[in-house]
Amino acid sequence: MNIFDKGFTPAEAQLRYLDADYVVLRPGSFVRCAITGRPIPLDELSYWNVDRQEAYADIETANEAYRRYGLGN
């Protein structure tokens, strides 16, 4: 099924974040940014924290998480 087909309902994926990759635990088309709550399409996911197991929408939100929690906390 093409995600652009009429009637497609996006589903939130569950991932296990690794150092340079991730493993899909529950299939879906997006994850949510831990800071903003915005959906992040999996093909646009570039920023996450392995220790906190959180995804971030962009570099700005990743930096915000770093300021909030510090490295590896």
Classify residue 33 by its DSSP letter.
Answer: B
pLDDT of residue 9: 75
CA Rg value for the chain = 13
Q: Which of residues 62 and 9 earns the better pLDDT score?
A: 62
Q: What is the pLDDT of residue 5?
A: 57
Give the pLDDT of residue 6: 63
User: What does the domain layout of the chain look like in residue ranges?
Assistant: 14-69
Please give the Cα distance from 39 to 29 (Å, whole number).
Answer: 9
The DSSP letter of residue 12 is B
pLDDT for 10 equals 84
Q: Are 58 and 66 in contact (CB under 8 A)?
A: no
Q: What pLDDT digit, counting tens, does each position of 6-54 carry?
A: 666 789 999 999 999 999 999 999 999 999 999 999 999 999 999 999 9
